[in-house]
C-alpha cells in the first residue's frame, strides 16, 4: 500500500496484467488521498473573489487532480477550516463527534503522567474527577503566570511562549502519550538558545518510555521487566527537566532567529511564507497560498 502511494503503481494489478498478456499501464491511476494541500494565509476576514494559478498547478506532470476546498464567494477567515470540518460533523453526529472528549474525561490517565505518579506514590491522592478538575485549574493558572512573567521579555515575538505553555500542559495533563512529544520538540528546536535542554529532555523522555514499557511487562507477567520505582524516578527526572525548560524559556530572551524583521507587516509575513504558488485574493485583503508537498 505504501509503495502504491509513492510510486502510483499497483504491483498486484501489474502482475495480473502481465499474466494475462495485457500491456502494463503507462499512466498513474487516480489516487483517493490528497498528496498536497494549498495553505491559505488571509490577512483578515473577507469574501473570496478569485483563485489564481490552479490551472498551472494542474498542468504539472506529477499532478493528477487539483481540488479546491474553497471557491469564489466563500468567506475566508482564520477559523474557516475549523468550522468547515467540525461543525457539519458535530451537527450530524454529536455523540460520535464528542466521543474523543468523552473518552478523555473518563480515562484514568497514563502511568508516567504527573498525576498518576503522585497518586501511586501516595503524595497526592486523586480520582478521575479530581484529575480532570485540578489538571485544568493547574494548567490555566500556570499558563496565565507564564504569559504574565514572559510577556515583557518576549515582546514582539510573544509566540515563543508557546514552548513553556506546552511544556506546562504536558506536566499538568493526566495523559502523556508518546505523540505528545511531537508538540514540544519542534518548539524546543525553534526557541531554545542552547542545545542542552533539548538533549536532556530527549534523554529523560527516552528513559521514561523505556521504564514505562518495562513496567507494563511486569504488570503483564513477563520477565525480564522493570519496577514502578524506576518509572517514577524517570518521570520525576523528566518533570525537573521540563520545569527547567519553562523557567529558561520565560526568563531568557529568545534567539535572534525568532524575530520578525523590523517593519514587516502581515502581508510581508505571508509573502515570505509563500514566495511561490497560487495566489488567492479577497475583497477586503490580499492573501497568498503555497502548495506544500
Q: Compute the distance between CA of residue 54 and CA of residue 72 in angstroms, rounded to an integer.
A: 13
Is the distance from CB of 278 to CB of 44 less than 8 angstroms?
no
- 31 versus 12: the higher-pLDDT residue is 12
pLDDT digits (tens, 9 = 90+) for 202-238: 999 999 999 999 998 988 888 888 888 999 999 999 9
**pLDDT at position 292:** 40
**pLDDT at position 40:** 57
By residue count, the chain amounts to 293
pLDDT digits (tens, 9 = 90+) for 80-111: 556 666 777 778 888 887 887 888 888 888 88
If you search the block for the grid coordinates 497526592, which residue do you land on? Answer: 124
Every domain of the chain and the residues it spans: 1-33, 39-103+261-293, 107-258
Please name which of 36, 34, 38 lies closest in space to residue 279, comparing C-alpha atoms: 38
| pLDDT band, very low/low/confident/very high, at 41 (cuts 50, 70, 90) | low
How much is the pTM?
0.62
Q: Compute the distance between CA of residue 81 and CA of residue 273 in angstroms, rounded to an integer.
A: 19
* Alpha helices for the chain (secondary structure H): 2-7, 11-20, 54-58, 80-92, 94-97, 99-106, 114-120, 128-150, 162-172, 181-191, 196-219, 228-251, 266-273
Amino acid at each position: 500500500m505504501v509503495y502504491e502511494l509513492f510510486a502510483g503503481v499497483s504491483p498486484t494489478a501489474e502482475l495480473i496484467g502481465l499474466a494475462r498478456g495485457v500491456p502494463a499501464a503507462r499512466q498513474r491511476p487516480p489516487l483517493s488521498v490528497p498528496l498536497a494541500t494549498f495553505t491559505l494565509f488571509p490577512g483578515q476576514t473577507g469574501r473570496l473573489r478569485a483563485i489564481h494559478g490552479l490551472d498551472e498547478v494542474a498542468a504539472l506532470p506529477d499532478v493528477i487532480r487539483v481540488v479546491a476546498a474553497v471557491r469564489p464567494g466563500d468567506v475566508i477567515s482564520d477559523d474557516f477550516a475549523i468550522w468547515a470540518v467540525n461543525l457539519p460533523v458535530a451537527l450530524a453526529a454529536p455523540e460520535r463527534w464528542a466521543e474523543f472528549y468523552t473518552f478523555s474525561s473518563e480515562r484514568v490517565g497514563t502511568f508516567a503522567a504527573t498525576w498518576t505518579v503522585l497518586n501511586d506514590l501516595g503524595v497526592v491522592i486523586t480520582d478521575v474527577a479530581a484529575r480532570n478538575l485540578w489538571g485544568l485549574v493547574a494548567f490555566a493558572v500556570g499558563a496565565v503566570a507564564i504569559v504574565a512573567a514572559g510577556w515583557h521579555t518576549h515582546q514582539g515575538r510573544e509566540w515563543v511562549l508557546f514552548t513553556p505553555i506546552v511544556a506546562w500542559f504536558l506536566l499538568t495533563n493526566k495523559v502523556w502519550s508518546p505523540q505528545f512529544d511531537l508538540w514540544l520538540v519542534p518548539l524546543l528546536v525553534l526557541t531554545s538558545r542552547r542545545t542542552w535542554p533539548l538533549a536532556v529532555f530527549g534523554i529523560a523522555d527516552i528513559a521514561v518510555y523505556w521504564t514505562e514499557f518495562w513496567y507494563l511487562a511486569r504488570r503483564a507477567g513477563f520477565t525480564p521487566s522493570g519496577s514502578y520505582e524506576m518509572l517514577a524516578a524517570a518521570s520525576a527526572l523528566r518533570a525537573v527537566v521540563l520545569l527547567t525548560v519553562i523557567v529558561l524559556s520565560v526568563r531568557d530572551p529568545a534567539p535572534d532567529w525568532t524575530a520578525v524583521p523590523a517593519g514587516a507587516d502581515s502581508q510581508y509575513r505571508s509573502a515570505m511564507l509563500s514566495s511561490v504558488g497560487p495566489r488567492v485574493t479577497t475583497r477586503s485583503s490580499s492573501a497568498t497560498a503555497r502548495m506544500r508537498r
